[in-house]
Amino acid sequence: MKVRKLIFERILPILLVLVLIARVFSYNNDIYNYIGLETSPYSTIVTIITLLAIWFQLSSTLIVGCRPFFDIKSVRLITRFIVPIVYVINLLYLNASTVLLTGVLDFNPFKTLLLIECIIGLIVWCYYFIIDLKEKVNVKSIFVMLGIWLLLLIPTMPTYFLQFTFGLANPLIKVIDISLAHRIFLYIGIIVPVVMYFLLRDKDELIRRFVLIYVSCGVLIGFMIGYDFASLKEPWSWPIHLCNTALFIIPICLIFRLKKLFYFTYFINVLGALLAMLMPNYDSATNLFDPGLVRFWYNHWVAFFMPLLIVALKVFNRPKLKEFYYSMCGFLVYFLFALVCNVLFTAMGHDVDYFFINSDFIADKLGKWAEHLFEFSVSVNVSGYQLVFRPIYQILFFIVYILLGFAEWFVYTEFFRIADKHYDLHVRLKINKQLKLEYLEKLSSEQKEEMMNNNNEIKLELKHFSKKYGTNKHYSVKDASFEVFGGEIFGFLGPNGAGKSTIIKSIVGIQPLSEGAIEVCGYDVSNEPTKAKYNIGYVPDHYALYEKLTGREYINYIADIFDVTEEERNERLNKYIKIFQLEHAIDSKIATYSHGMKQKITIMAALVHNPKVWILDEPLTGLDPNSIFQVKECMRIHAAEGNIVFFSSHLIDIVEKLCQRIAIIRKGEILCVKTLEEIESSGLSLEEFYMQTIESIDAVKEEVVS
């Protein structure tokens, strides 16, 4: 059993991929001379089938090679249903493939390797077909498999396919100098990784690693089609250019988890690829379907975004400063290697320009001063070869690149800090939705209807509520009982440490009850917490906001939690934006807001679901007079609509003008619950009544003690 698994799950799949790589090197470059289907020696149908079969086999072989290492449903299904069809078609069209890609019909390395690849692929398929035979398949999974397979074909598209199939576009397209076509190609390099990130960020690590390895290997194999066995003997034709090395480094790092090598490509190759895309080194007039253009952009897109995507998806950790230093040391080694190769191969009569340090390609774009630096050269004769160095230009080139890499570090840091905030928000929202779904699944249909359309009396009631923290022998709140009814603004007064925040946090469900009960609109906060919270809007004494979001984004996040419809949230949001005069700031980041603006956003978020019980814990602290007026108006409006406004504050004069009833608490005991009319009829102001109530209790306690 172990020997069989070793053969079919390790040796043969790896051998299959190695045969594929060898076959790629056996292509004849004459394939690039085909321009349009009419140039093919075969009929249009045969040519198209042959081209697609070769393309699909690149993808199929990579998938089969990954199958033993990535036990993913879609990979299993593609291996089971699509792979055998692709290999059989390639066997049937073996002669056509050989003629189109090598120019000859007789057996040659390409034909031999293609035949071996098909046979090994079918053998491995048979093994996994038997293993996966018991897996049930439905129509939905088949359609999902087909969609994923079509996406997986994109990275393995041969660079010659577009020119061979569609010919040359007319007129020629200028993909340079930040033209429209050039900008579109740059946008693709930004949009594609963003889309991939959102598609993959919630997937298992296994799926993320598979996609990244598959894409990087697929593009690498497509890149190698431009080389053949003869080029292996010519070092000056090797892909030593910085962006080319990235294509090899990325899959190697992913497959073998080489972190230190990865950080080299993370800091060095990304920057090099970006600069290359901004200043592409090909003719200004380039055909859209030209294989060279396709090859250039495929390669540089991957070299640019793949390292960033790998870190964003947490396959490798974000580097620390020491990794940056190591990367720069690695870059020094590469730079010196490329420099020596440049001067040596040039002296041997070969036209090379690795990293653009052997020509004035970069200097020409910087101006005459750079050209003058480039012209200063030093020659050294070694074994009959005249080695020409340009020390000042090349040293400055290296230093500037290091500085750009250091600047890149700060860009990365800020980018990922923002991404972290959004991802954290996404995870929290996802968890909240999952918890709510799980809760709703447990409810009967009648209970769901009751919660969403609650017609219970609008009332907040404390029934002999007591709260004691941990093993503390003393109660923070003892036997508190009172009721608040719809349409009231209820003031809650007491000195610091009296127990006001303890009661409020128990009402909103932040902390559990020790004794007694609290009901919100008929729902017990301990036994029916979700139903109770649906009816509560809470403004804490210390707000906690996601400050990397805009005000609108944060309020929409809260609205999502409470299932507020888009129409309702927009109506309420526009209403409160006008009340709080936030038109100029609602779409700015919360981090840029003043204290008062942040407090307003907290209030708007508490009201976006139109709660029947609005609880405010010291909401006016630190606000300017204009903001205080706006909050008071909002409280009056909400109570006038029949809702409860439960208002804790030290600002007794505001409570006196705003509230219909008040409760006074001291050292965890409710001293009294009075209407403002009752207090006024006693001939005292609220402040005098408050102080008299507090002092009389102190006097009674002192008398008892004495």
Q: With respect to residue 642, please indicate whether it lies within any of the assigned structural domains.
A: yes
* pLDDT, position 448: 46
- Helix spans in 279-320 (H): 291-312
Count of positions (residues) in the chain: 706
Find out whether the peptide bond into 540 is cis, omega within 30 degrees of 0. Answer: no
Q: Does residue 348 lie in a domain region?
A: no
CA 114 to each of CA 97, 98, 129, 229: distance values in angstroms, whole numbers, following the listed order: 9, 9, 22, 16
Q: How far is CA 581 from CA 552, 558, 592, 595, 697, in A?
A: 14, 20, 16, 15, 44
Say which amino acid occupies 259.
K
CATH of residue 686: 3.40.50.300
The total of other beta-carbon atoms located within 10 Å of residue 236's CB is 17
C-alpha distance from residue 138 to each of 77, 126, 145, 380 (Å) = 11, 21, 11, 71
611, burial (CB in 10 Å: exposed 0-12, middle 13-18, buried 19+):
buried
Structural domain includes residue 576: yes
Angle of helix 291-312 relative to helix 205-224, nearest 10 degrees? 160
| Distance separating alpha carbons of residues 675 and 662, to the nearest angstrom | 6
User: Would you say residue 566 lies in a domain?
Assistant: yes
Radius of gyration of the chain (CA): 36
Spatial separation of the C-alpha atoms in residues 265 and 216, rounded to whole Å:
13
CA 78 to chain centre: 27
Residues of the chain with pLDDT under 50: 445, 448-449, 451-452, 702-706
Asked which of 115, 136, 167 is the last residue of a domain, the reply is: 167
Strands 536-539 and 459-467: unpaired
C-alpha triplet 253, 255, 261: angle, nearest 5°: 10
User: What is the identity of the amino acid at 390?
Assistant: R
pLDDT at 302: 94
- In whole angstroms, give the CA distance from residue 388 to residue 340: 10
Domain that holds residue 672: 456-705
Helix 109-131 vs helix 94-102: crossing angle, to nearest 10: 140
Q: 31-52, pLDDT tens digit by residue?
A: 888 989 989 999 999 999 999 9
Cα–Cα distance measured from residue 592 to residue 580, given in angstroms and rounded to the nearest whole number: 17
pLDDT value for 414: 74
Task: Evaluate whether residue 699 is within a structural domain.
Answer: yes
Q: Which helix (H) or strand (E) is 484 found in, with range?
A: strand 477-485
Q: Take residue 390 and report the two structure tokens written for it.
A: 């340009």
Q: Transcribe 400-455 into DSSP letters.
A: HHHHHHHHHHHHHHHHHHHHHHHHHHHHHHHHHHHHHHHHHHHS-HHHHHHHHT--
- CA distances 262 to 154, 241, 321, 324, 423, Å, are 24, 17, 14, 11, 24
Query: Which of 144, 167, 190 is the endpoint of a domain?
Result: 167
Among candidate residues 214, 210, 278, the one with its CA nearest the CA of residue 72: 210
Q: How many CA atoms lie within 13 A of 150 on its CB side?
A: 5
| The domain boundary residue, chosen from 167, 196, 223 | 167
| Structural domain contains residue 75 | yes
Query: Into how many domains does the chain fold?
Result: 2
For 387, the 3-state DSSP assignment is strand
Measured CA angle at 640 (ends 671, 601), to 5 deg: 85
Per the listing, tokens 């925040």 go with: 501
Domain for residue 418, yes or no?
A: no
List alpha helices for 348-390, DSSP H: 361-366, 368-375
- Does residue 341 form part of some domain? no
